[in-house]
Structures are given as C-alpha cells and as structure tokens.
Amino acid sequence: MTNVSSFPQLVIPNTLAAGPGPGNTDARVLAAYAGSGIADHMHPDVLRGMIECKHMLRSFMGTTNVYTFGVAGTGWSGLDCMMSAVMPGDTVVAFSNGTFSGIDALTLRMKAATREELAANSLDPQPASVTVIEVPHGQSVTAEIVEAALAEHKPKWAFMAHWETGSGRINDIKGFSDACVKHDAMGLVDAVSSLGVANFAIDDYPGVVGWASCPQKGLLCLPLTYAPVSFSDRYIETLRANGAYTYANHPIMEARHWGIIDGKDVEKGVYHRTHSAYAVCAFHEALRINLADGLAQRAQDYAFHEQALRDAVTTMGCEVTSNMTSLVVLNLPPDFAGREMELVQNCRAEGFGIWPTLSAPVQVRIGILNLLSQAAITEIVTKFAQALNALGADVDIDAIADQLDTHYQSRIAA
Ligand SMILES: *Cc1c(COP(=O)(O)O)cnc(C)c1O
C-alpha cells in the first residue's frame, strides 16, 4: 500500500515569471479565484458572471461577433475549438515561423487529413490538401508571403499566428486579412500572445473568421481557466452546414453555456459542461482589470518597458532578434554563444524564470507579462546581468542601472 507520508503536501515556490508565459497572474485575479463561494455551474450568479464575461470579452477583443466566449482550458483548447470546423479533405494554407505556429500547422494537418492520410502517419500526418509555408525562425510572415501563397493555392482556410512567441516575431495581420478577403479564404488566427498586449480590434480584420487566445498571457488570468475565442457569422454558418467532430470544443455547442443560442444572446446559459465558479470569478476579474486599464494604455506600457529591457541587454552585448513588445528574444554575446541552456538553467534554479527557445536555433527569451514597472524591469535586468557575469562576462551593473534610470526619467519628463 502507498503510504501518504511519502507524499507531503505539495508546495510550489514563487518565481519571477520573466518568460514568454505564463505571465504573472494578477493578485486580484488570485483573490477572486480563492474568494469565490462553492457553487454549481447553474447557479444564477455563475450564469450571470459568464454572461458579463462574454460582454466584457467582446469589448476586450473589439468585436460585435455574437459567438465570442471562453473555452475551458488553455490556449490550445481555444485553438482546438477554432480549428474544429476544418474537416478532412479541406484545403488549408498555414504559415509557420516558430514553435507555436508549427504546432498550429500540425493541428490543422491532423484535422484536414483524410482517414488514410492520418493512419499513414498519425502523429505527423502530411495531407495533400494542406500547404505549410515555412518562414525561417527570427523572420516575420509578411503581406507578400501571404498574398503569393493564397494566390497560388486558393485555399478554403488560411492560418497565421499573429505574434509567434517561439521566435518573438509579429506577423502582418492586416496583410493576412487583406489576402484572405481578396482570395476568398477564411482566415483563422492564433492570437494567444497578442491579445491584451497589442492595441487592436479584431473587427478591423474582415478576412479573419476565427480568433483564439489564452488565459495566461496578456489577459493575466490563471492557466486552465478560459481561452477567449471569437467567430464571425460566416464561420458559424460554415460550421453549422458541415459539423465538427467534437462535442466539448464545438463552438456552437460550447457557446450555449455563455448564453448564445441560435446566433442570439439569451438571458441565461444552458448546460454544456460543469464550469467552475472559481474559474468564472478569476476570468471576470481579469477582464475587469484589462478593461479598466484600457488596451491603448497597456500596449503603450508594454512598448515602453520592452524598450528599456531591450536597450539594457543590448548594452550587455546581446543581440535582440524579436519585435514583440512582451518578449525579448536574444543571442548571447559571441563569447558565450552555445551556453544559452546553461545560463537559462542557472537562472531558473534561482527562481528567475526565463526561457530558451523551444526549437532551433537556441536563443534566450525574457518576457515582461504583467511586469510593467521600473522596479520589475530593474530586477530582471540585474538578475540577467549577474547570470552573465557568473558565466565570466564583465557587465558593469551600475552603468546598466544608470541607463535604466535615464530611460525611466524620460517618461517622467515627457
Ligand atoms: C503560449 C502559446 C500557445 C499555447 O498556449 P497554452 O496556454 O500553452 O495552451 C499557442 N500559441 C501561441 C502563439 C502561444 O504563445
């Protein structure tokens, strides 16, 4: 028999979550989660909370799409829901420029594969109807790349990640949407890393019929709460006509619990799955924080603080190859090339949670999700400089601190 004394209560320490995600869940979100009463998923306040979340989410995403709600789970759960309308044999063009859009493309290959194509290589199918355009790590997907591929293939579906977190690159969402409109493709977008960080409204991109994001990055919520999704009427009509091979993540069915039935808002949701009062409270509070701060302000803050971090690591001799405002992806100074994993592991062992890239080439990723203060950026910069010095670099930490001060003074002056 297993003796429970071999398993003392699990304690997980705090870290400085300075990676691509999960971000630092806001203390108010944690308090809302822990402060929720025990209630069933049909309790009037839970149902009311879900309906309020739906309305706040529409505002947060900048949309009048009725089919806007949260999918229980993580970012991949929302993406799976969004891709559920892609059926075996459907033609798809997917753009991949890093780890995450690569996994998105794999998901699409799994969904569009025929039974024979799936059985031939079930974990990595290569369906004839799916074209994956590989853009090198460190580069963005441009309007020209999208236009050329959609003109050539004329697919039913097109896919792009808005911000590719693996390589820290922003892809051209307007170019993508325009090409989708021009070639009558239905655009699907992974907005996991951009939502809540970039200032954009999804309704400004009419070529995109489906959007999916996550709880744990710009939204500041807990992982495993709700992944925001939004679908246009065209997506929903296509889905209704063809169906999807899922119950749990079926967009039309899942939306019912959020009070969306037959394309209309209804007063009260109906059972789809056992939602958690805790998760609903956390999601609700995260949305309230985001709406109060405002997307424009938040986007400006990310850009300002990312610039401070970027300048500091550049002064240390690192080369930054990313252009996202929530994440810096860098090469170490030439003398330390090849020691990225060692540096990242040393930092992580000390509770300073930075990350390597997950696919080649090996680079270092430092993120600032919900770390938008001079104190937080200074702590990140100091810890990173100390880690470089521990490898044998000679970074003048005082000079870097002065440079940071000057950056922050400039805002006070402005
Ligand atoms: C983080 C991320 C995902 C995966 O999200 P999970 O919450 O881990 O499921 C997918 N796509 C992009 C672009 C991401 O940054």
In short, whether 97's Cβ falls inside 6 Å of ligand 1 is no
For residue 414, report the distance from its CA to the centre of ligand 1, in Å. Answer: 36
Q: Which of 4-8, 229-233, 300-304, 363-367 shows the lowest per-residue confidence on average (mean pLDDT)?
A: 4-8
Contacts of 269 (CB under 8 A, 6+ apart): 47, 50, 51, 256, 257, 258, 259
Beta carbons within 10 angstroms of residue 293's beta carbon? 14
Nearest CA to ligand 1 atom 11: 100
171 Cβ inside 6 Å of ligand 1: no
Dist CA 343 CA 149 (whole Å): 39
- The finding on whether 24 has its CB within 6 A of some atom of ligand 1 is no
Pocket test for ligand 1, best of 79, 106, 160, 165 (most atoms within 8 A of CB): 165
With a 6 A CB cut-off, is 76 part of the ligand 1 pocket? yes
Q: Which of 25, 71, 76 to mutate to test the pocket of ligand 1 (most atoms within 8 A of CB)?
A: 76
- How far apart are the C-alpha atoms of 337 and 330, rounded to whole Å? 11
Q: What is the DSSP letter of 302?
A: H
User: Which atom of ligand 1 is found nearest the CA of 223?
Assistant: 7
Q: How far is the CA of 228 from the centre of ligand 1 (A)?
A: 12
Q: Measured between alpha carbons, how far apart are the two ends of the chain, in Å?
A: 67
Q: Which of 9-18, 49-58, 74-83, 104-113 has the lowest mean pLDDT?
A: 9-18
Residue 159, ligand 1, Cβ within 6 A: no
**Ligand 1 closest atom vs CA 76:** 9
Give the chain's domains with CATH numbers: 27-292 (3.40.640.10), 295-413 (3.90.1150.10)
Q: How far is the CA of 100 from the centre of ligand 1 (A)?
A: 7
Lowest mean pLDDT segment, chosen from 109-113, 214-218, 356-360, 385-389 = 356-360
pLDDT tens sequence across 187-238: 999 999 999 999 999 999 999 999 999 999 999 999 999 999 999 999 999 9
Ligand 1 mean position to 19 CA, how many Å? 12
Residue nearest to atom 2 of ligand 1 (CA): 192
Q: Band of the pLDDT at 100, cuts 50, 70, 90?
A: very high
CA 261 / ligand 1 centre spacing (Å)? 28
State which amino acid sits at residue 319: E
Q: Is the pLDDT of residue 412 over 80?
A: no
**Token digits for 264?**
């209309």
Place 2 in a pLDDT band, splitting at 50, 70 and 90: confident
For residue 132, the SS3 value is: strand
| 300-338: pLDDT as tens digits | 999 999 999 999 999 999 999 999 999 999 999 999 999
SS (H, E, C) 163-215: EECCCCEECCHHHHHHHHHHHCCEEEEECCCCECCECCCHHHCCCEEEEECCC
Distance, CA of 325 to CA of 197 (rounded, Å)? 8
CA distance 65 to 206: 11
| Band of pLDDT at residue 3, cut at 50, 70 and 90 | confident
Neighbouring C-beta atoms of residue 270, cutoff 10 Å:
12
Taking the C-alpha atoms of residue 315 and residue 313, their distance in angstroms, rounded to an integer, is: 5
- Residue 161 Cα: closest atom of ligand 1: 13
For residue 385, pLDDT beyond 80 = yes
Rounded percentage of the chain residues whose pLDDT exceeds 90: 96
**Residue 1: which pLDDT band, with cuts at 50, 70 and 90?**
low
309: left (phi over 0), alpha (psi -120 to 50) or beta: alpha
